[in-house]
Amino acid sequence: MSGHPTFEELEAAALGEEPLPEVVAHAGQCAECARELAWLRAEAQLVRRRPHPALRPEIWRAVEERVHAPVPISRARRWRPVLAATAAMAAAAALAVVVRPPVRTPGVGQGDAGGSEEIATEADPKARQALDRAAGDYRSALGVLEQEYQTARGRLDSRTQKRWDESFARARSIVDASAQARNDPEERVRLLDGSAVMVRSLRHALEDSEEVAR
């Protein structure tokens, strides 16, 4: 070995991770590296020789109980509107196809080369009803999720609370905007798509949040 070994090489040797023979050989001749290696070895020995805590058998029992526990019925019932809204997502996606393609009607600039065209969208009454239903579903789903969040809000730190509050405020504003865009089906579908994404993300975030699920 021409120069000194790297710190990582000395450390690997100290921690028993396949030490390179040349590292050990070098440390045998170099006081500086020998000292470093001795330090690292002593440090590792000291840390590793501490007593190992006993693993209480109740821990596994509790894990087993929790991982095999069915979802409580009450929670499943409470979340039914959220699941319904998930179905509404598919409906909204299908409607996006029904509503499109837009009907192009001559606009102000008719006759001009490259003139503008006013884009109108066919407002099928059935599609409108379905969109109303989807918007209603998202609103109820959001209500359920928010209720769930409120029960756990007190357990979260202020920064996490702020993040959740902002997410819910944003989701509400999108759902509200979709309700107000009744005369613009294209825009409404876009906002409903946004609502779908928000509801889905919030649902997954709540499901994954152990602090909320407690």
Partner 1 sequence: MAETARPVASLSGVPVPPATDHPGALLRGRGEVLPERDLLDRARRGEPEAFRVIFDRHAPSVRRFLGDLLRDDAAADEATQETFVRAHARMRTLREDERLGGWLLGIARMVSMEQLRRWRRDPLPLPDDELREPDRAPSPEAALLSGEADRLLDGALRVLSAERRSALLMRIDHGLPYEQIAEAMGWNLQKVKNEIHRARLQLRERLSAYVEGEAS
Q: Which residues bind partner 1 (CB under 8 A)?
A: 8, 15, 17, 35, 38-39, 42-44, 46-68, 155, 157, 210-211
- Report yes or no: 27 and 51 within 8 Å, Cβ to Cβ: no
Nearest to 96 by CA among 180, 195, 194, 185: 185
Shortest distance in whole angstroms from residue 8 CB to partner 1? 8
Please say which residue, 47 or 97, places its beta carbon nearer to partner 1: 47
Please say which residue, 63 or 94, places its beta carbon nearer to partner 1: 63
With 0-12 / 13-18 / 19 or more C-beta atoms within 10 angstroms meaning exposed / middle / buried, residue 174 is: buried
Shortest distance in whole angstroms from residue 151 CB to partner 1? 17
Strands (E), the chain: 103-106, 117-120
For the packed helices 7-14 and 31-48, what is the interaxial angle rounded to 10 degrees?
50
d(CA 77, CA 83): 10
Please say which residue, 140 or 160, places its beta carbon nearer to partner 1: 160
Shortest distance in whole angstroms from residue 11 CB to partner 1? 8
Please say which residue, 137 or 148, places its beta carbon nearer to partner 1: 148
CA distances from 38 to 1, 26, 31, 62, 165 (A): 19, 13, 10, 43, 54
Please say which residue, 59 or 113, places its beta carbon nearer to partner 1: 59
Shortest distance in whole angstroms from residue 171 CB to partner 1? 24
Shortest distance in whole angstroms from residue 194 CB to partner 1? 26
- Report yes or no: 199 and 142 within 8 Å, Cβ to Cβ: yes
